[in-house]
Amino acid sequence: MGGVFRVPRRTAWPSGKAHSTRDPEQVIDPGDAGRKPARFENPSAASHGALGSQRNHDAFAVMKTVLWIIVGLLVGVGLFLGLLVWAARNRRTGADGPKKPMDSQAAARRLLCLGALGLRLELETQARLPTKKRPKTNRKVWDLEHGRTSLNQWLKQEGLWDRLSNGEKKLLNAPLGAWDEEAVIDVSWQDEAIEVIGWALRKADDVLRYDDEVDGEKSPLNLPLFEATSGFIACAALRPLVEITHARDLAELWLWRANAHQMQQQPNEYPPPPGSTYEKLIAETAEAAERAGFLKRIGGDFPAFGKPYARVTTEEQATLTSIATERLHGLNWLCGHAEDWDERPPDP
């Protein structure tokens, strides 16, 4: 995208989850806590209070029975509601994610939505420039504002507005110059998602290498922005799912390598598994990836910028992480791992 300074996207750190240390097979012995407390009676009152004691015992038994009925009802309602939530979630996602991947028309609309975000980013970037440095076609602020409103009108006219995520609608509705730095960086890196979705729609022959950043100005895509989109959507045709899944696995593999590199730099915080080392894990994974046809190793490692991944600079590492993150995001969406574009499954 013209005029956009490519800032490395925020790096993707592995997300940890807390796990219970209790053995799931362990049976907890309640011990004394489950036994009925002993009753201490007054011997002198025992003969006079036998009837009253029996009545108290009967009342206590009734109250206990009612209490257990109430508890049973509450547990039953809770289980029923839990089953409803579980069923609703599984109707949407199935056991291992959504039931089916996105279709060709949905992918074409997503590509157009991302293209529209790219155009808005250009307007946002130009609005931040001093007036004298703005392109001649956008000399005045009102020209940029006209571009913003026209873009939103076009999205609504073509039925694409409802295909946007809530986060995207918020960005497009924001006044020019209102985007924060994080939004600018995130949208600028969406060229990588456009790359893989365009490839999946047969708009490109191959996906670029994972150490090759997408140049939006040289993209082979010819999106009908500010034009009628019905023909573009109707003619869309995705590659076979097996090809898209293979590409997704490759993106996940590269993000795993990026995360492993980051963790390797902080062994005290992220120690390797017992009895192993990061070097061994990376070497074994690279060898398996080469056997599967995903890559060709350099020095027993993933190839990055013509050298083993372990030797990349901090800036190169940030670029590699951002490329893998955004491509995996696009491919995850295509494969049905997240229906909402704003959702991001956990990192590998």
pLDDT recorded at residue 134: 55
Does residue 177 have a pLDDT over 80? yes
User: For a pLDDT cut of 70, what percent of the chain falls above it?
Assistant: 67
Full DSSP string of 275-332: T--HHHHHHHHHHHHHHTTS---BTTB-EETTEEGGG--HHHHHHHHHHHHHHHHHHH
**296/298 Cα distance (integer angstroms):** 7
Tens of pLDDT, residue by residue over 304-344, are 999 999 999 999 999 999 999 999 999 999 999 988 899 88
pLDDT recorded at residue 219: 73
pLDDT band at 346 (very low <50, low <70, confident <90, very high): confident
What does pTM read for this prediction?
0.70
Mean pLDDT, to the nearest integer, of 35-43? 36
pLDDT recorded at residue 20: 34
How far CA 113 is from CA of 43, 92, 108, 186, in Å, comes to: 85, 23, 9, 15
How far CA 307 is from CA of 12, 213, 258, in Å, comes to: 22, 17, 15
Higher-pLDDT residue of 77, 153: 153
Question: Is residue 90 classed as helix, strand or coil in its secondary structure?
Answer: helix
Tens of pLDDT, residue by residue over 121-168, are 999 988 887 765 555 554 444 578 889 999 999 999 999 999 999 999
Q: What are phi and psi of 137, to 5 degrees?
A: -75, -10
pLDDT band at 12 (very low <50, low <70, confident <90, very high): very low
Mean pLDDT, to the nearest integer, of 7-30? 38
pLDDT recorded at residue 100: 82
pLDDT recorded at residue 72: 54
pLDDT band at 70 (very low <50, low <70, confident <90, very high): low
**322/8 Cα distance (integer angstroms):** 7
Question: Alpha-carbon torsion 324, 330, 332, 335, what sign?
Answer: negative
On the 0-12 / 13-18 / 19+ scale of CB atoms within 10 A, 104 is middle
Token pair of 17 as six digits: 């989850």
- 98 within 8 A of 336, measured Cβ to Cβ: yes
User: For a pLDDT cut of 90, what percent of the chain falls above it?
Assistant: 58
**286/290 Cα distance (integer angstroms):** 6
pLDDT band at 60 (very low <50, low <70, confident <90, very high): low
How far CA 100 is from CA of 1, 11, 92, 202, 335, in Å, comes to: 32, 30, 10, 20, 7
Mean pLDDT, to the nearest integer, of 259-277? 92
pLDDT recorded at residue 221: 80
pLDDT recorded at residue 7: 41
Tens of pLDDT, residue by residue over 205-256, are 999 999 999 987 777 688 999 999 999 999 999 999 999 999 999 999 999 9
Q: Within a 13 Å sphere around the CA of 70, how many CA atoms are in the beta-carbon half? A: 6
